[in-house]
Amino acid sequence: MQLFFVMAGGFLGAVVRFALGEWIGSADFPLATMLANLSGCLFLGWFMTFSSWQEGRWREVSLFIGTGFTGSFTTFSTFSLDMIQLIRDGDIWQGAFYSSMSIVGGLLLAYIGYKLANVQFKRGEP
């Protein structure tokens, strides 16, 4: 049953990720991938902090939303391929911006999501 929750969430996350790419469109810069990854970091930092307080009651919801949906919505493999393309095209400065925003921004946004959950639900550090 747990596998079903991961698969269903993964399906929806992949569809939303595809739709985001179609809506933003392809350009010289991989904006859709960066937005998906950064928003996913913020959301997952918040959601996993919140769901960790549920003492196992949210196991299926965490699998559906955290592992399935967010796991397929965000994509490290596409980030890696985008970086190869930017380097191959000689866009070193765009590549440096993209990688630093993705890595440093992702870590920062995950931490902000974690802190927001603590403030929003008036919890101490777990």
Q: Which long-range contacts (CB under 8 A, 24 or more apart) does 79-83 make?
A: 79/30, 79/33, 79/34, 79/37, 82/30, 82/33
d(CA 124, CA 82): 39
pLDDT at 124 over 80: no
Residues of each annotated binding site: 71, 74
d(CA 6, CA 11): 9
pLDDT at 126 over 80: no
pLDDT at 125 over 60: no
pLDDT of res. 111: 97
Confidence class for position 63, pLDDT limits 50, 70, 90: very high
Q: How far apart are the first and last CA of the chain?
A: 28
- Total Cβ atoms within 10 A of residue 48: 18
pLDDT of res. 28: 84
**Domain-by-domain residue ranges, the chain?**
2-120
d(CA 104, CA 99): 8
Contact call for residues 103 and 34 (beta carbons, < 8 A):
no
Residues of each annotated binding site for Na(+): 71, 74
Confidence class for position 123, pLDDT limits 50, 70, 90: low
d(CA 83, CA 73): 18
- How confident is the model over 81-109, as a mean pLDDT? 95
pLDDT at 50 over 80: yes
The string of pLDDT tens digits covering residues 10-30 is 999 999 999 999 999 877 899
